[in-house]
């Protein structure tokens, strides 16, 4: 076999291997479900807004994530399509209201004093809770829409899985 033929053969093997890994990662991504819902439909002004996240792993392999820095990116907008103010400890968004995921510059994120490695086995589910007040200053009344992109470590590399959209209202419950 000539050196040119040999080189083309190895290039074809490398491309096929990368394509196979990409297909496997996409299959793994489709097999993971992230479902979010606020703990209430309506919250009072200055009340902590919690979102419950249900993660279901329908993949054939375990997936995992570290709890610090946050393994998720949160998108949140008010009824006018505006992104609420961010808490001062977070970096500027890198795109249209997205709080940067853990893969970005860790030096900008709050210092992690402890991180737990969470593993979700094949066919298992896990519940997590997120306080939106840790990320956004939610002092305005109105309707809000959000979603969460969760980053997992899988057998085929990192996989980012988007959640469904969720909705909630903040209102002044002292006024009638």
Q: Which residue has the higher pLDDT, 147 or 101?
A: 147
Q: What contacts 24+ positions apart, CB below 8 Å, involve 3-7?
A: none
Across the range 137-143, mean pLDDT stands at: 89
Residue 57 near residue 63 (C-beta atoms within 8 A): yes
What pLDDT was estimated at residue 69?
A: 77
Question: What per-residue confidence (pLDDT) applies to 112?
Answer: 66
Mean pLDDT (the chain) is: 78
**Which residue segments constitute the domains of the chain, with CATH numbers given?**
31-171 (2.60.40.2970)
Q: Which pLDDT band holds residue 119 (cuts at 50, 70, 90)?
A: very high
Ramachandran class of 66: left when φ > 0, alpha when ψ lies in -120 to 50, beta otherwise: beta
Closest alpha carbon to 153 in 115, 111, 96, 110? 115
Residue 99 vs residues 57, 87, 135: alpha-carbon distances, Å: 24, 11, 8
Q: What is the pLDDT of residues 46-104, one digit of tens each?
A: 899 999 999 999 988 899 988 877 888 899 999 999 988 887 554 444 444 455 554 44
Yes or no: say if 1 and 20 are a contact pair by the CB < 8 Å rule: no
């Amino acid at each position: 076999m000539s050196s040119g033929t040999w080189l083309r053969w190895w290039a074809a093997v490398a491309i096929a291997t990368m394509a196979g890994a990409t297909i496997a990662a996409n299959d793994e991504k489709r097999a993971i479900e992230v479902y979010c819902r606020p703990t209430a439909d309506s919250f009072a002004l200055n009340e902590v807004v919690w979102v419950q996240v249900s993660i279901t792993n329908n993949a054939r392999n375990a997936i995992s994530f570290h709890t610090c820095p946050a393994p998720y990116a949160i998108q949140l907008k008010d009824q006018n399509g505006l992104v609420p103010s961010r808490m001062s400890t977070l970096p500027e968004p890198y795109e249209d209201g997205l709080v940067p995921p853990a893969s970005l510059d860790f030096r900008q994120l709050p210092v992690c004093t402890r991180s737990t490695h969470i593993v979700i086995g094949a066919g298992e589910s896990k519940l997590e809770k997120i306080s939106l007040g840790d990320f956004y200053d939610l002092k305005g009344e109105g309707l809000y829409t959000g979603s969460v992109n969760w980053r997992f470590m899988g057998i085929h590399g990192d996989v980012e899985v988007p959640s469904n959209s969720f909705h909630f209202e903040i209102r002044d419950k002292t006024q009638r």
